[in-house]
A and B are shown apart, each in its own frame.
Chain A
Amino acid sequence: MNYLLHLLIYLDIYLIVAMSLNLLIGYGGLLQVAHAAYYGIGAYAAALIMLKLGWGFLPAIGLAMVVAGILSLAVSIPAWRFRGDYFVMVSLAVQSVAYSLLYNWIDLTNGPFGLTGIPRPSIFGYKFDSMRTIALFSSIITGICILGMVLILRSPWGRLLKAMRDDELAARSLGKNTRLVKLQTFMIASALAAVAGSLYAAYVSYIDPTSFTLDESILMLSMVIVGGTGNIRGPLVGAFILIAIPEALRFVQIPDAVAANVRLMVYGLLLIIMAHFRPQGLAGTYRIQ
């Protein structure tokens, strides 16, 4: 039972991550590979706030969202000028810089040794310390995020985001400030990634930079591409599948030494198959250019 609850918590965390990345890729047409960096920034920010300032979980999540939102300017401002492949390179640079900072800023992040003893979530004195309660808590947070995402994407803002994706110049010629929309999109997506990171930090109680590498960004990207972009369903399907694959592989007798590589090969194969047969993903509506 605990194993299933553990999977549910991980699924919740990645649902938020995939949904936030889909906001950038599927709705904004902004392909980036730095999402693990913002997931990590959220995790570290929430952990440090709880450990060093002694704040509760909810205020820590709130501040982590603000920190990630502000730091999203590192990718959103270049997005004003760069598009396509060049923008991917910019986001790759941001991912590398963020990872290096987490790894080398030892005074703050404790470098490769990571942060230990991160408290479990607690709200108004109630501590979520069993698997069952954490799973319930993470599902509620995920539900709120999905609801917020549905509302915002159905709003005129969501429509403007899609217009920018379809034809940015046409949107600008109608008087739409697409630079502002890009800033907002990156802020929302990064803040949501920070929510997922905070949940992750509070759940596992220990974080180190190796959880927020480029490989993690590629996993997140795979979830969005495999599941599909341009609607809410796609990333949910993608997160489910890519959480399920490694778990399924556990039941196949693969030596531990090669298990990680096999997992990466499976992701790669899946991406190739999707790109060839279903470029819009399993449940997506928008085809990534």
Chain B
Amino acid sequence: MLTRTAVDDMTTIRDAKELNSVILSARGLHKTFGGQVVLRNVNFNLRKGEVVLLQGENGSGKTTLLNILTGNLEPDVGELHLSVNSTQEVFRWPRRWWQNLNPFDHFTPERIAWEGVGRVWQDIRLFSTMTVLDNVVLSSPRQAGENPIIALLRLGRVNKEELYNQEQASKWLNGLGLGDRLHSSCDKISLGQMKRVAIARAVQAGAKILFLDEPLSGLDGIGVAEVMRYLDTLVHTNGLTVVIVEHVFNIPRVLDLATTVWTLADGHLTVESKDKVWRNPKITTVFNPYDWLKEVAGPGGKVETQELKQGARLTSAIPSGTENAPVVLEVKDLVVRRGYRTVLDGLSLKLHRGQLTLLEAPNGWGKSTLLDIITDVLPLQSGNIILNGESINSLSTDKRVRRGLGYLRSRKPVFGSLTISEHKRLPEGSNFIFSGHSQDGDTKANLLSGGQRQKLLIEMLPDASVYLLDEPFIGLDAGSIPLLLKELSRLIAEGKAIMVVMPES
């Protein structure tokens, strides 16, 4: 854990005047995609030390706004004023054609980063072939060793600078509880650790304003606590200004830290007080999967929990009359190894017809790996998988799907060049009556937001006897979650078996 005295150069911000100074402001931002207006006349002031929760329905333009504010996208019209450092930078759109000829006057991610704006991506984007330490050291600004001539001819200077940067990075990482993982490859650490490394990397790069896109999504309870504790320290000790986009499940956790709430709706941004959002039960009522399980079990039914190895839990809703329902999917003695590490060691489970099963496990347990193996996305190493009484070990993914497996791989890309209608025609027959798209069927999938893509993935699930859903609620807005719950309950009532996989809360 990062203690408030852990990092030498942290400066405590106490000056109220400084806290109230505007460091980023937007005037009249407007953005359209393919004729569809995403942002309309967006205005705001961001003050130093502020913690903003940016919320909105799926497709409301949160990621578009984040992309603009971090230099990844230019608005059609508007102004941005940045004064993080001593000088003020002003960007105005539309730009004149001759402005684009100047190679030093482009609105790019690197230029915005030089101005002290950092971003933590939803998909994290660590440099996976490097160690944790290298990921953070690399982001140090203005490194002389990044000039190849100096790197060759001034070895002493470069080594000295490198040692200093390593020390700084190690301090951050030690404070984050990652001291023992400094030399681990970034593709070998857990999701929670990856998110902390991503935040440390942005701060080491000199970010004074940090934009975080769903920093808590996919994290288990411990991971969420770790990230929030770290953010709290950065805000209160280091005076970092933070804008967080977060999924509806995690909004209550972010609201504890937030000072301001920005809500995007129909392209308009409104600044709301935190208290007003706290009063909205739709937002602040935390989704409790156990209430849902009880509801599915219904009167006369029961909910049974089975503890699995390494902190995982399997909870089943058994509606009345399905106690002796046939097993539709059975996994026997599954062993999964990654290199020298055994991920799943002799796992066995059964899914019964007409029952809902919830698998909760900590990050790194192998939840997604398990589903990938059941569906042959990853090869089976050891064990047996039986679907409707027949072993499917030798069958390829497409054959398993035809035999009745439906698999939702959340957050996986859809086919960007196909329209929504074309996507829906892809599966041979879909049983899901779940829609929340405001777009028409001719909209191409690459214009959809993360949440809208998730909805499309759900709609594309083929007709199946067993559904394996990996974090199906991820990215969905508050209005869509009840619709999906209702749809899943309907399918269970029809006799389907469903396994929902979620991180341990």
Contact = CB atoms under 8 A, between A and B. Distances in A.
Interface in B136-163: 137-139, 141, 143, 145-148, 151-152, 155, 158, 161-162
Interface string A178-191: 10010010001000
B273 to A, nearest CB: 31
B460 interface: no
Interface in A233-273: none
Contacts of A285: 129
The 4 residue pairs across chains A and B that have the minimum distance between CB atoms: A156-B145, A175-B113, A155-B151, A170-B125
Interface in B414-428: none
B88 interface: no
Contact of A174 (B134, B138, B162): B138
Interface hub of B121, B146, B152 (most chain A Cβ within 10 A): B146
A156 B118 CA distance: 21
Contact of B148 (A155, A173, A174): A155
Contacts of B130: 159, 162-163, 166
B496 interface: no
A169 interface: yes
Contacts of A172: 108-110, 113
Given A162-B127, A166-B128, A166-B129, A174 B205 contact: yes
23 contacts: A155-B148, A155-B151, A156-B138, A156-B143, A156-B151, A156-B158, A156-B162, A157-B148, A158-B151, A163-B127, A163-B138, A169-B72, A170-B125, A171-B127, A172-B108, A172-B110, A173-B121, A174-B113, A174-B202, A175-B113, A175-B114, A175-B139, A188-B148
A285 B129 CA distance: 10
A155 B148 CA distance: 8
B127 A166 contact: yes
Interface in A49-71: none
A175 B109 CA distance: 7
Contacts of A158: 151
Given A155-B148, A163-B130, A175 B141 contact: yes
Among A148, A156, A188, A285, max chain B CB count under 10 A is at A156
Given A170-B121, A173-B110, A174-B118, 15 more contacts: A152-B151, A155-B158, A156-B138, A156-B143, A156-B145, A166-B127, A167-B127, A169-B109, A172-B113, A173-B119, A174-B139, A174-B201, A175-B141, A176-B110, A177-B110
B366 interface: no
A285 B128 CA distance: 13
Nearest to A147: B152
Contacts of B141: 175
Contacts of A173: 70-72, 109-110, 113, 118-119, 121
Nearest to B141: A175
A170 B123 CA distance: 11
How many chain B residues sit at the interface, stated as a range, is 35 or more
Nearest to A185: B148
Interface string A93-127: 00000000000000000000000000000000000
A167 B113 CA distance: 16
Q: Which of B121, B139, B148 has the most CB of A within 10 A?
A: B148
A140 interface: no
Interface string A264-289: 00000000000000000000011000
B28 interface: no
A156 B119 contact: no
B206 interface: yes
B146 A157 contact: yes
Contacts, number: 90
Contacts of B161: 156
Interface residues of A, number: 29
Interface of B: 70-72, 108-110, 113-114, 118-119, 121, 125-130, 134, 137-139, 141, 143, 145-148, 151-152, 155, 158, 161-162, 201-202, 205-206
B113 A151 contact: no
A155 to B, nearest CB: 4
A160 interface: yes
Contacts of A156: 137-138, 143, 145-146, 151, 158, 161-162
Central interface residue in A163, A173, A184, A285, by most chain B CB within 10 Å: A173
A155 B145 CA distance: 6
B433 to A, nearest CB: 37
Contacts of B119: 173
B84 to A, nearest CB: 12
Of A151, A155, A160, most buried by chain B (CB within 10 Å of CB) is A155
A175 to B, nearest CB: 3
Contact of B152 (A148, A167, A169): A148
Given A172-B108, A174-B113, A167 B125 contact: yes
B121 A178 contact: no
A151 B153 CA distance: 10
Contacts of B72: 169, 173
A174 B118 CA distance: 7
A170 B127 contact: yes
Contacts of A155: 145, 148, 151-152, 158
Contacts of B138: 156, 159-160, 163, 174
A156 B133 CA distance: 13
Nearest to A164: B127
A159 B130 CA distance: 9
Contact of A175 (B125, B134, B206): B206
A152 B154 CA distance: 11
A155 B128 CA distance: 18
Contacts of B145: 155-157
A230 B127 CA distance: 14
A158 B143 CA distance: 12
B53 to A, nearest CB: 21
B110 to A, nearest CB: 5
A120 to B, nearest CB: 29
A281 B145 CA distance: 30
A62 to B, nearest CB: 15
A286 B148 CA distance: 22
A159 B162 CA distance: 12
